[in-house]
């Protein structure tokens, strides 16, 4: 197939911002707020000892998954690492099932056997939820391989972080994806820190959109705090991959407000830095201001959305707290099929 | 109504902490995300953020308090205009589910509703029992073929049967296979289903597992299992564990196959036997055939299986010829051992190329009047322990034979199983004949010494039969 392949530079120069209709902004606001409130509740429940082990919150990065989801089509797959709650909620997976998995209860999406980092939904084409940094990149490339094998027109949206971007298998996967023209959009969520290590201390090339350059994979940097920019870039990348041109890289420049996990005090960055992102770039606040000022949506309408979201999240927390633990007989099930 | 703020757990192991500082004062307005207080854990100083909005009502634990147990109420948040001293809401959302008297996160994590089945219902591992080999009808023509041809035929037959089956690996297509196992497959099935990969084991193993998660049935060939060490994370963490971690939702129907163990004169990095490694992993099936018939019947079964299967071949055996029944669809059960030679005096248990030592030793021993029963495990996981136990009940003695290393090896597992399940039948300790506990040397004489030998098997049998 003849391909028009934008260079990384040319792609980045395209106009990134397309305006949203009031309905699109309302939908984005609602979806992002659901993730924000869900994660805040998860943090609270972790503090109460209801959630064990590791718990990586997505607060601050909401625009990335919500914008990508708005650009995706039915049948496109999603796969990511362990900071996965937002990805699951954005694909439409049930908040109760996600929260009950966090608490390790039988109503959890993995029956309580996977936990925060390991959940799946064939129905929503969500393939995890992976705890090994970078493993999902090869797996997501495999999802793209299956799409091409079946010629089903679907694209694998494979998320990973700036930390995972330094793993060797990422480049093994890039090579095969381009070689075989697999329909994969690699979304690198650059939240500036790989656990406690700043990007500049871990990466020789900090422009992650160029990480596919030696494989001829086009890429672009995207303002990952602006849901409109994410959706526009996602649409370009998905169309490129869907048309048989091979993979595409989107570097989402984003920020996580909380520590790497619940037990990370985040001493490696200043409070001012976090505060600046929160006040000047918050993905939800941007939409909220736009809704109120540009779209003339009433406070009442936003309050109603807030209340609706709180209701969903509280119901999920309630379910996740009261659902029983797995039956002991489940210990030996699902080892083999 | 007031909402209680509880002392949070801020790490997987935290049970108590020090409340070092209140950032907000009583009467301050708080909104979601505001830092309320600082807490010192055993690891770090952490901030407590507000989740609910309102006014900080009463501070219940003053700053400077040491060893505050997790889940202790430390303050209340009240709605605007509400009395700061208002009693906490009885239904403080999820907080109520944490037993108030439970100080540790572990206790707090106990289910809120006593509907969990009583712990008397202790789960036990399922008993696995594989069906016997299918009957080969009398008069079935037997065809002499090499293990190599049998493996190729198995793949070709399964690829004809199911369009979701494909084979990928280094040199599997145009080169016709580094060891010619995939000979002719490209010509019959085309480049869509017979795929040459770059030299990139970690990556293509992951691509295979991802394709399997999406429902395809890949056969991933490793040029040798020595190179699969690059890919073992994807094999174990992604392929073997996903069914369990997904609560049974996502399965991986995938075969990882290739030559395993020592070939000849290729030294330490190309001569390792991974039988014991993979056989330890729940979520995998592990097959290591000796004969061409078993190679064919079991590879076909492995390709049809819904689980990740490790199929360990042996380079030296590729050229060995055996009789294979000429049947349209010869599929053998995974998990069933085969009695390769019946006997009554001692049980020899082996698999793959280890069988060559065991069978030759049995022949020699027969000349000395010792009738050895030789069991070919064929499948290492699930292991057919009942077959070994049945034989030992008859012979009272057991020697295991493998090329792998001794520590935590297949023989070690068999010895432990017999201690557990056949102790009263044993008339002698179980002995292991294994590869020596060294990296494989290159020099011909040292390599020979490092591998098991027929003489060692005979010596071990003499020892357990007290002759």
Contact list in B for residue A337 (CB cut-off 8 A) is 243, 248, 251, 306-307
CA atoms within 13 A on the CB side of B300: 20
Specify the 3-state DSSP secondary structure of B5: strand
Distance of alpha carbon B337 from alpha carbon B304, whole angstroms: 19
Distance of alpha carbon B36 from alpha carbon B85, whole angstroms: 18
What pLDDT does residue B97 have?
42
pLDDT in tens, B144-153: 999 999 999 9
Across the range B375-380, mean pLDDT stands at 98
Domain boundaries of chain B, sorted by first residue? 3-78, 142-325, 338-465
Question: Which residues touch B290 (CB under 8 Å, ≥6 apart)?
Answer: B317, B340, B350, B351, B352, B353, B354, B355, B356, B376, B378
Across the range B172-180, mean pLDDT stands at 96
pTM: 0.89
Q: Which has more confidence, B129 or A118?
A: A118
pLDDT in tens, B417-442: 999 999 999 999 999 999 999 999 99
Across the range B199-211, mean pLDDT stands at 98
Determine whether the interchain pair A50/B109 forms a contact, defined as Cβ–Cβ distance below 8 Å.
yes
What pLDDT does residue B126 have?
79
B23 shares contact with chain A (CB less than 8 Å)? no
- DSSP of B438-466: SPPPSSHHHHHHHS--HHHHHHHHHHHTT
Determine whether the interchain pair A114/B247 forms a contact, defined as Cβ–Cβ distance below 8 Å.
yes
What pLDDT does residue B110 have?
44
What burial class does residue A25 get, using C-beta atoms within 10 Å of its C-beta: 0-12 exposed, 13-18 middle, 19+ buried?
buried
Domain B142-325 superfamily per CATH? Thiamin diphosphate (ThDP)-binding fold, Pyr/PP domains (3.40.50.970)
Q: Of the CATH numbers 3.40.50.300, 3.40.50.920, 1.10.30.50, 2.130.10.10, which one belongs to the domain with range B338-465?
A: 3.40.50.920
B101: pLDDT confidence band, cut at 50, 70 and 90? Answer: very low
Distance of alpha carbon B437 from alpha carbon B208, whole angstroms: 34
B131: pLDDT confidence band, cut at 50, 70 and 90? Answer: confident
Q: Are B466 and B368 in contact (CB under 8 A)?
A: no
B84: pLDDT confidence band, cut at 50, 70 and 90? Answer: low
What pLDDT does residue B121 have?
57
What pLDDT does residue A264 have?
87
B379 shares contact with chain A (CB less than 8 Å)? no
Across the range B320-332, mean pLDDT stands at 96
Q: Which residue has the tokens 């014991």?
A: B276
CA distances from A49 to A42, B70, B110 (A): 10, 8, 9
Distance of alpha carbon B451 from alpha carbon A85, whole angstroms: 52
Q: Which has more confidence, A81 or B16?
A: A81
Q: Are A188 and A222 in contact (CB under 8 A)?
A: no
Q: Which has more confidence, B171 or A48?
A: B171
Q: Which has more confidence, B20 or A2?
A: B20
B186: pLDDT confidence band, cut at 50, 70 and 90? Answer: very high
Distance of alpha carbon A326 from alpha carbon A29, whole angstroms: 35
Q: Are B294 and B338 in contact (CB under 8 A)?
A: yes
Specify the 3-state DSSP secondary structure of B84: coil
- CA A44 to chain B, closest CA, distance in angstroms equals 7
Specify the 3-state DSSP secondary structure of A160: strand
What integer best gives the mean pLDDT of chain B? 90
Q: CATH topology for A19-321?
A: Rossmann fold (3.40.50)
Q: Which has more confidence, A271 or B88?
A: A271
- CA B423 to chain A, closest CA, distance in angstroms equals 27
What pLDDT does residue B106 have?
42
B319: pLDDT confidence band, cut at 50, 70 and 90? Answer: very high
What pLDDT does residue B87 have?
59
- DSSP of A284-335: HHHHHHIIIIIS---HHHHHHHHHHHHHHHHHHHHHHHHSPPPPGGGGGSSS
* Both structure tokens of B180: 């010619």
- DSSP of B423-440: GGG-SS--EEE---SSPP
Contact list in B for residue A169 (CB cut-off 8 A) is 202-203, 206, 234
CA atoms within 13 A on the CB side of B127: 3
Highest mean pLDDT among A57-71, B76-90, B109-123: A57-71
Distance of alpha carbon B69 from alpha carbon B384, whole angstroms: 51
Q: Are B225 and B199 in contact (CB under 8 A)?
A: no
Catalytic residue among B149, B158, B170, B201: B201
What pLDDT does residue A334 have?
96
What pLDDT does residue B112 have?
47
pLDDT higher than 80, residue B123: no
Catalytic residue among B221, B270, B402, B413: B270
ipTM: 0.92
Q: Which has more confidence, A12 or B16?
A: B16
What pLDDT does residue B347 have?
98
What pLDDT does residue B12 have?
75
- CA B35 to chain A, closest CA, distance in angstroms equals 11
Domain boundaries of chain A, sorted by first residue? 19-321
Task: Confirm whether B251 is a catalytic residue.
Answer: no
Determine whether the interchain pair A328/B119 forms a contact, defined as Cβ–Cβ distance below 8 Å.
yes
B142-325 with B338-465: one CATH topology?
yes
On whether the B3-78 domain is CATH 3.30.300.130, my answer is no
Determine whether the interchain pair B283/A147 forms a contact, defined as Cβ–Cβ distance below 8 Å.
no
What pLDDT does residue B130 have?
84
pLDDT in tens, B436-466: 999 999 999 999 999 999 999 999 999 999 9
Across the range B195-209, mean pLDDT stands at 98
- Mean pLDDT in each 10-residue stretch from start to end of chain A (337 residues)? 44 60 97 97 92 94 98 98 97 98 97 96 96 97 98 98 97 98 98 94 96 98 97 98 98 94 87 92 96 95 96 98 96 95
Task: Confirm whether B270 is a catalytic residue.
Answer: yes
């Amino acid at each position: 197939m003849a391909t028009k392949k934008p260079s990384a530079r040319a792609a980045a120069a395209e106009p990134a911002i397309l305006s949203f209709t009031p309905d699109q902004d309302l939908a984005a606001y609602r979806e992002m707020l659901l993730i924000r409130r869900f994660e805040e509740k998860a943090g609270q429940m972790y503090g109460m000892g209801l959630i064990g082990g590791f718990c990586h919150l997505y607060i601050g990065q909401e625009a990335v998954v919500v914008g990508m989801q708005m650009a995706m089509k039915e049948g496109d797959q999603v796969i990511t690492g362990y900071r996965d709650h937002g990805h699951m909620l954005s694909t439409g997976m049930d908040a109760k099932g996600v929260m009950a998995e966090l608490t390790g209860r039988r109503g959890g999406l993995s029956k309580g056997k996977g936990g925060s980092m390991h959940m799946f939904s064939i129905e929503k084409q969500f393939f995890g939820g992976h705890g090994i940094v970078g493993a999902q990149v090869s797996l997501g490339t495999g999802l793209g391989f299956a799409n091409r094998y079946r010629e089903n027109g679907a694209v694998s949206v494979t998320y990973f972080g700036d930390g995972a971007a330094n793993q060797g298998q990422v480049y093994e996967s890039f090579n095969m994806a381009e070689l075989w023209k697999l329909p994969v959009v690699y979304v690198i969520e650059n939240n500036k820190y790989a656990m406690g290590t700043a990007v500049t201390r871990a990466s020789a090339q900090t422009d992650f959109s160029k990480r596919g350059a030696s494989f001829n994979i086009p890429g672009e940097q995207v303002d990952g705090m602006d849901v409109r920019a994410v959706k526009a870039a996602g649409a370009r990348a998905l169309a490129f991959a869907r048309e048989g041109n091979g993979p595409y890289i989107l570097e989402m420049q984003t920020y996580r407000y909380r520590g790497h996990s619940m037990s990370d005090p985040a001493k490696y960055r200043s409070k001012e830095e976090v505060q600046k992102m929160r006040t000047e770039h918050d993905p939800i606040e941007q939409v909220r201001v736009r809704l109120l000022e540009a779209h003339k949506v009433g406070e009442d309408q936003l309050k109603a959305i807030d209340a609706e979201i709180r209701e969903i999240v509280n119901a999920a927390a309630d379910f996740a707290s009261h659902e029983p633990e797995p039956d002991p007989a489940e210990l030996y099930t699902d080892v083999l099929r | 109504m007031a909402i209680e703020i509880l002392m949070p757990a801020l790490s997987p192991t935290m049970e108590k902490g020090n409340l070092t500082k209140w950032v907000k004062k009583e009467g301050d307005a708080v909104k979601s995300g505001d830092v309320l207080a600082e807490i010192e854990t055993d690891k770090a100083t952490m901030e407590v953020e507000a989740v609910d909005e309102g006014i900080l009502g009463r501070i219940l634990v003053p700053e400077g308090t040491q060893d505050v147990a997790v889940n202790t109420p430390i303050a209340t948040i009240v709605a605007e205009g509400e009395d700061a001293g208002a009693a906490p809401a009885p239904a403080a959302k999820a907080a109520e589910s944490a037993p108030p008297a439970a100080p540790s996160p572990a206790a707090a994590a106990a289910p809120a509703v006593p509907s969990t089945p009583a712990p008397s219902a202790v789960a036990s591992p399922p008993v696995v029992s594989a069906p016997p080999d299918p009957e080969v009808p009398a008069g079935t023509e037997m065809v002499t073929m090499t293990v190599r041809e049998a493996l190729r035929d198995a793949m070709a037959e399964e690829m004809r049967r199911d369009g979701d089956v494909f084979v990928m690996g280094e040199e599997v297509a145009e080169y016709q296979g580094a060891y010619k196992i995939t000979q002719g497959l490209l010509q019959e099935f085309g480049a869509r289903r017979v795929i040459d990969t770059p030299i990139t084991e970690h990556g293509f193993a992951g691509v295979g597992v991802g394709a399997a998660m999406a429902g395809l049935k890949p056969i991933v060939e490793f040029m040798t299992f020595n190179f699969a060490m690059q890919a073992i994370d994807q094999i174990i963490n992604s392929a073997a564990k996903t069914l369990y971690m997904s609560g049974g939702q996502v399965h991986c129907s995938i075969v990882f196959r290739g030559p395993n163990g020592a070939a000849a004169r290729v030294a330490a990095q190309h001569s390792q036997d991974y039988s014991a490694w993979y056989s330890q992993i729940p979520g995998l099936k592990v097959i290591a055939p000796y004969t061409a018939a078993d190679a064919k019947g079991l590879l076909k079964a492995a390709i049809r299986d819904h689980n990740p299967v490790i199929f360990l071949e042996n380079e030296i055996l590729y050229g060995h010829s055996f009789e294979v029944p000429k049947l349209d669809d010869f599929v053998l059960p995974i998990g069933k051992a085969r009695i390769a030679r019946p006997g009554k005096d001692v049980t020899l248990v082996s698999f793959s190329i280890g069988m060559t030592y065991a069978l030759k030793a049995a022949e020699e021993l027969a000349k000395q009047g010792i009738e050895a029963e030789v069991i070919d495990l064929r499948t290492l996981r699930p292991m057919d322990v009942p077959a070994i136990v049945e034989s030992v009940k008859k012979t009272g003695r057991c020697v295991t034979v493998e090329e792998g290393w001794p520590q935590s090896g297949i023989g070690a597992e068999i010895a432990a199983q017999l201690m557990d399940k056949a102790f009263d039948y044993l008339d002698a300790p179980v002995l292991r004949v294994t590869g020596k506990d060294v990296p494989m040397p290159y020099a011909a004489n040292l390599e020979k010494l490092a591998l098991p030998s027929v003489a060692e098997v005979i010596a071990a049998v003499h020892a357990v039969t007290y002759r």
